[in-house]
Structure 1
């Protein structure tokens, strides 16, 4: 059948829907060259007429035609409202597996609407006569053959970003016309009004009319909006128009801020967007960045997508509730098919009918969903809560649809925002969280064809609390009015000043006046999910300030290691909630360094007191607009199978690994103490160029009669180890007081100019008061290195675990770990694959490249060296041990080969440092610094630039593999193992050796704050 024949046949037809529908569709198939449903799918499994479904709003119905993954098609009689037919298909969508196209047709007109998730819907309208044109026929052909051709290119994300951008401009213009909280509340009221207009919660054309009038008379704009907000607060008449009752706390008596002509023009421009399509997750995140001055630097950066958040919401919340529904459904089916005897009524003793009993089972499950409680104790703009609410509502919808399909009566959805609870210290974010959840709740109803609007339209969300999640300030208790811990609203109390909250944001504060700080209480909630703030232990004083950190340490003393990341406090509190029976299941995002060091102690506790049932050990994530690596950890009660990184496993270790060898049980060994150290922490620009350093060490003696060589030393960071040495030096006044330091005149004056202004802004009082010193004194490191002729150094964070030798005058940077041993045997043991495997299992991970981080306490001090070759034994004591000799020879050969590759003699020249001078050297003065290795010429420099350890180990030539093979064999022999022992077997033996030494009394106490500070 040609298009012209099809048009001529159907132009005069005026049959009823039932009489015409299937014949019309069969002719369409013939015209388009597509098999009809009966021919293509006789069983009706994926392409069928009269596809039976259950309507979301209740009652049985049919999709007139359905093709799985393509379309749902509804016919109507000519001249009927096709929009109503599309609305009907929306109610069918869930039961029809959400086809991407919805088509309504009256044989003369075609209305085709796209329904892809996260794409802005687009509608195509065709008439019978339009089919004569090839471009229109192609649209209809795509419906049958290639629906993706009709997929809109404009996404919800694009609309949302545009909306956030427009409103950000408005929000910025409002600065100074109210407090940040007043501005945030007013802007949220405006946002919701735009959304309410787009989804027809406000009378049609009323809001655009108000905007136009405000643009014409901006001096009256505040009064116009005040009137609208007053009507929305209680419902009623405004400007001869009936306004629904909204309130919910958004329209609560707080009125508009003054607007000028520019503001009103921007608002009028924003009305051109389809606000019904904004994505609450993206909008809340972007808008929070605009409203919060501290986050404006993140504008334009990425945001966390829904799929990532669902990696926590699904296992923690959806999976157990879905399992409960499967059990309830099975019981309902058994009752309705009379495989299960209905129970008797409690009051009368009369047996229920099968339908009554089934309805009671359903009611019990629906009530269970309606009373679920979900807490995000660091909710930000509400993304976790929004998606969790949507997920529970989807579960309720599924239960209702499946019950209706089984013959039970329809039910109206009852799950609402009341099930979510949130804690958020930032009032701007808390305000946005409420708006995110309200908009999302309404969008869910529209998306599923549920248009009932009980008033108030906005349900109160007092459960989103604006307060600190970790610490509460309580006033001194009096006999008349005691203040129980956790009773304060924390940061919502009024005050004239601010103090730093534990997540690094300002919160209202007061003169303490004897007030105490206690642990904040969390609301009881069955499920806890969220993305708490990250802040490494080393950075907490800088990021939060001394007072906030001291309060935190005092309140949580003994429960969380002081050197642990801030995020671990949320884990500890969530675990205590489970132990106390206030919560059941938890899923939180953490820095991926939670797998090791001081941070892992909280996971050790969770594994001991509960169970980790699902985790993703290392996932990309977006935190404050930046891509980072995180661990997702789900723990609590339940009978779930254990999953790690998306795979079922038999068990999971506290470091989020699987395997028979749980090396997290390893303990620090006394024999390894006082050997490995983290390098010096600069905390400011105290490093200088080699050129300036040589000026300083060549200068005349200072007033104290001393040379600047006392305080100027070569400096080595991680890059200098694995790449090219940048020829950097350090000014290090060690433990000198300010007066003594000032006697080294030129270095001191340099730091006073460059460093002091920076240190004066530091929140750490010690950094401020001792501004001329490096951030870490390093006295223990200096003492250890003073006893060796050279020392071993390794990057703390690196793709390849490599060790090199360093001259004793060199100051190692905090990005390195220094081992105070100068014998080749220790060097060889550390460079063996056994130590590398051990360090990879006990390390933490860092950076976009997710590189392993070496830590003295967890990776070195736990490692059991071969008996008789441990770090507490002087090297000369085992110099004649055949095991030590073999290891030393293999290690020296490895180092010699690498050195020859890195610095070929034909490409380099050796230049002595300027001090001692040539005359002093001739007189026998010992060099204080290592000689410089420089390229012979420009061509050599080009070649040497590529000669780095990183490139060498990336390439790993055969000679390097052979050298490591020989070294590994020597180390294995020292342990009494075969050379080809597997890494897993070696780890098991190393753990056994560690625990046996620990039980024999050589276990070291837990790391102190200073020792573990860098590891967090």
Structure 2
């Protein structure tokens, strides 16, 4: 269950008549417990309570109290030995009138409330559903409740008004929902002249069968688009005359409203009964955007970008510098004034703004700094100099664009209440400005300089203007000469496999004239390229959240030289971390944050997560495209090892499926054991080596062919391979049809010692899978092979050093490590090894193999499962890492960041030396 579903279930439980015997089970059911779990608890099979309550191990101990004894019962739950034995995280006591609960693993204060109000705190209990997320989201019960109710209303309205869900009217429906949100907020915050004016008017003026509800709402909308002086002429009803003139484009244009059923009317009134003063535009916008998106509605409430994560972008992009300037100013009035003027000219641009949460957070942070300036200058309550129009965005989806503008309007009002007081905030709020600074369009098809010019007016009316900006308003008139621009956001990532035809066309439009390899790029790369082009003509600085794949593997040499050609460098970066959301048991996606600029000082900042989970900040002169501290370098493919390591090639390629066999197919050949020993070999690719899958192949040497074709079943397979190759469209395949008894590409004689390296393996493993193939086995082209290589080569591959190198320079296939011999193994930097070094590493590799052997028949997948890896195997790898890392720097590396810095340092030296050698040879030839 997601938070929206949980909130709905909890709210429904609270309005039912209290049943003391059933409450604990109903409460657990509301948080997603299955009926089988409830049945076991009810029967006492898994219920370990010593107080006559319900105790679910590792989760919660619930007890229904006698009337008036809730606090006493909670104390008993806290002191219960059963609570401790079962490691219950929560304790809960209620008598149906009062409700108390406590999280025993958190410093959060206990919940004490009336029973009917406990749904307001449902976020407190989200860990019961496996949702362990950030505190800001857990505490945002209102936003989740409001989103769930708006979603139910939206779906119900579309049932009776299906045409409003079609392509032609979907925009009207979304605009209607945005109007409702504004009304609910305005009636609870005093913006309207009476509290609850909107909800009460609908309840009183529309009859119970809801037949005229749409007419009542339409009249209200019409009133809010009519100036007071014009209302007599337009015959505004007396009851609607209470609503103020709002305008701002929000209520202009059509005021048609979808028809309401009794159920839809009931939903509307329930939404109005929520306390909309609690709305948090930082969170609410991200949640509500899914209401109008058919594809996202199934994951409603899960799409949330946390404030701390947004600040990972905004702080190093510009906020840290502003706060430092504020600290330096102290109480110096002139310096504070200069900083305030600077704030008023700062522009923030999110070209994939969604519901506007990056813009909202940026606005609120700047207002907070401005307020501190005002307080230090003795000017508290001063009108803000920071216009909303400085926070511009582009968004493809209409509803998200509307919510983005609305979220900023709400954020401005809330800041004014906080810093100027309710009276001044209300005085300045209405009527809304008709300025529209959120553009609804495809950001990759727009000229950003046209939408957001570097100086002066920055927002022009668009043909598809969302808020009906007057056509004669060519641009917003405000002076921003000399202001700096910061581009930020979380654009769609989308690897090449998942891009639609339209998205591939977007990439082609941007990259086709720059590189022929653009088809390999993630979609997010286009935003970096557009930002870099924009920065060539402005003093803009940009930072985006992105999947780490654009800073790994094959995308690096395609994208980053193009970025660097524009004069941009990486100003700061966050190395890989989990970008989580509200989904149950969510692991999050691995992302990085990259900031680029053409206007840099000497210091760049590189942020990373330390071994203890704390943030580590390193100041450095350079950050390269792999997000490593060090000079700019692109790791290029090499045909042989730059460190003199053993040659690594793909395994043997069958080119004909009839050369491969299962165990059952071998039996069908009807051959003797002696024939099987001569012509059948075990074959290993990635899956066979890692998971122990059985696969076999025909392995017939040229001098064995005459004997082999005497066996009918084998002769048929050879002939089928010949036919397949002869019919191929590839000339290279046709050319080997006459040798159909052999693999199409043969790299083994068949009796070598083979070190096997899978070409793809899970990112969850702490070490890359590598090992020796059984004697006589064949390695397929689904893996790499080192033939008769010294065993110390395996020690290198099995190290943590090699894993971080492969993860960085080779990239990934989906979420798995993708190995490459030319770009991963051949480029792997290794110091010159002495004979003693090689002997020590050989012993470490032997030890790893011996430990594995002790666990036969466990597979590599079994042994390297991070949750169940045997301790002695982990110790064997630790010893291997210690020996190898001491060869590199005389001690163990502190973390992966330090490992990569050393590896890139060595790689740079090797490639620089190689280039100088080649240059010298050319000179000699001359």
Q: TM-score, normalised by structure 2?
A: 0.61
Counterpart secondary structure, 1:671 = coil
Cα distance between partner residues in 2 of 1:679 and 1:462: 60
Counterpart secondary structure, 2:396 = coil
1:635 and 2:596 matched: yes
Cα distance between partner residues in 2 of 1:194 and 1:576: 42
Counterpart secondary structure, 1:294 = coil
8 Å CA contact 1:417–1:459 kept in 2: the answer is no
8 Å CA contact 2:343–2:370 kept in 1: the answer is yes
8 Å CA contact 2:395–2:439 kept in 1: the answer is yes
1:603-657 Cα shifts (integer Å, max 9, x gaps) = 5665673443332212221369561221122332355853322524233421465
1:639-677 Cα shifts (integer Å, max 9, x gaps) = 585332252423342146565x55845543343599767
1:799 and 2:755 matched: no
8 Å CA contact 1:615–1:633 kept in 2: the answer is yes
8 Å CA contact 2:686–2:757 kept in 1: the answer is no
1:531 and 2:481 matched: no
8 Å CA contact 2:689–2:860 kept in 1: the answer is no
Q: Which of 440, 456, 467 pairs up with 2:411? A: 440
8 Å CA contact 2:663–2:696 kept in 1: the answer is no
1:569 and 2:526 matched: yes
In structure 1, the residue matched to 2:443 is: 469
1:289 and 2:290 matched: yes
Cα distance between partner residues in 1 of 2:137 and 2:767: 44
Cα distance between partner residues in 2 of 1:580 and 1:589: 23
Cα distance between partner residues in 2 of 1:119 and 1:188: 35
8 Å CA contact 1:832–1:967 kept in 2: the answer is no
Distance change in 2, residues 1:946/1:622 (3 Å): closer
1:728-748 Cα shifts (integer Å, max 9, x gaps) = 7999xxxxxxxxxxx999x99
Distance change in 2, residues 1:593/1:579 (3 Å): same
Distance change in 2, residues 1:368/1:979 (3 Å): closer
Q: Which of 172, 191, 199 pairs up with 1:201? A: 191
Distance change in 2, residues 1:568/1:582 (3 Å): same
In structure 2, the residue matched to 1:458 is: 432
Cα distance between partner residues in 2 of 1:680 and 1:293: 47
8 Å CA contact 1:597–1:843 kept in 2: the answer is yes
8 Å CA contact 1:613–1:643 kept in 2: the answer is yes
Q: Which of 545, 553, 563 pairs up with 1:589? A: 545
The CA RMSD over aligned residues, in Å, is: 5.3
Q: Which of 184, 192, 208 pairs up with 1:216? A: 208
1:783 and 2:745 matched: yes
8 Å CA contact 1:611–1:635 kept in 2: the answer is yes
Distance change in 2, residues 1:668/1:330 (3 Å): farther
1:359-416 Cα shifts (integer Å, max 9, x gaps) = xx83x65454333221001111111011111112222222222222xxx696322423
Structure 1 residue runs of 5 or longer lacking an equivalent are 1-117, 125-151, 335-360, 475-485, 495-523, 702-706, 732-742, 749-765, 767-780, 870-881, 909-934, 936-940, 1004-1016
1:470-511 Cα shifts (integer Å, max 9, x gaps) = 23599xxxxxxxxxxx999999599xxxxxxxxxxxxxxxxx
Counterpart secondary structure, 2:824 = helix
Q: How does 1:673-684 map to 2 (within 5 A)?
A: none
Kindly state the Cα deviation for residue 467 of structure 1 after the two structures are TM-superposed.
1.3
In structure 1, the residue matched to 2:624 is: 654
Cα distance between partner residues in 2 of 1:700 and 1:489: 75
1:320 and 2:342 matched: no
1:671 and 2:645 matched: no
1:934-965 Cα shifts (integer Å, max 9, x gaps) = x5xxxxx7x99965586667544766666777
Cα distance between partner residues in 2 of 1:978 and 1:203: 72
8 Å CA contact 2:638–2:823 kept in 1: the answer is no
In structure 1, the residue matched to 2:401 is: 430
Cα distance between partner residues in 2 of 1:489 and 1:597: 42
Kindly state the Cα deviation for residue 121 of structure 1 after the two structures are TM-superposed.
14
Cα distance between partner residues in 2 of 1:592 and 1:711: 43
Cα distance between partner residues in 2 of 1:159 and 1:409: 30
In structure 1, the residue matched to 2:68 is: none
Counterpart secondary structure, 1:783 = coil
Q: How does 1:571-970 map to 2 (within 5 A)?
A: 571-581=528-538, 583=540, 585-601=541-557, 602-603=559-560, 609-622=567-580, 627-636=588-597, 637=599, 639=601, 641-645=603-607, 646-655=616-625, 662=631, 664=633, 666-672=635-641, 693-696=662-665, 698-699=667-668, 716-717=685-686, 721=689, 724-727=691-694, 783=745, 785=747, 790=754, 792-794=756-758, 795-796=760-761, 797=763, 798-806=765-773, 809-811=778-780, 818-819=784-785, 821-824=787-790, 827-828=793-794, 830-831=796-797, 836=802, 839=805, 842-843=808-809, 854-863=819-828, 897-904=847-854, 947=863, 955-956=872-873
Q: TM-score, normalised by structure 1?
A: 0.56
In structure 2, the residue matched to 1:770 is: none
1:781-824 Cα shifts (integer Å, max 9, x gaps) = 973756775462145433213422447655465xxx62464533
Bigger Rg, structure 1 or 2: 1
Counterpart secondary structure, 1:458 = coil
Counterpart secondary structure, 2:593 = strand
Kindly state the Cα deviation for residue 177 of structure 1 after the two structures are TM-superposed.
3.6
8 Å CA contact 1:202–1:243 kept in 2: the answer is yes
8 Å CA contact 2:829–2:903 kept in 1: the answer is no
In structure 1, the residue matched to 2:392 is: 421
Counterpart secondary structure, 2:544 = strand
Counterpart secondary structure, 2:266 = helix
In structure 2, the residue matched to 1:914 is: none
Cα distance between partner residues in 1 of 2:582 and 2:821: 30
Distance change in 2, residues 1:712/1:401 (3 Å): farther
Kindly state the Cα deviation for residue 573 of structure 1 after the two structures are TM-superposed.
2.0
8 Å CA contact 1:844–1:853 kept in 2: the answer is yes
Cα distance between partner residues in 1 of 2:696 and 2:441: 46
In structure 2, the residue matched to 1:996 is: 913
Distance change in 2, residues 1:854/1:441 (3 Å): farther
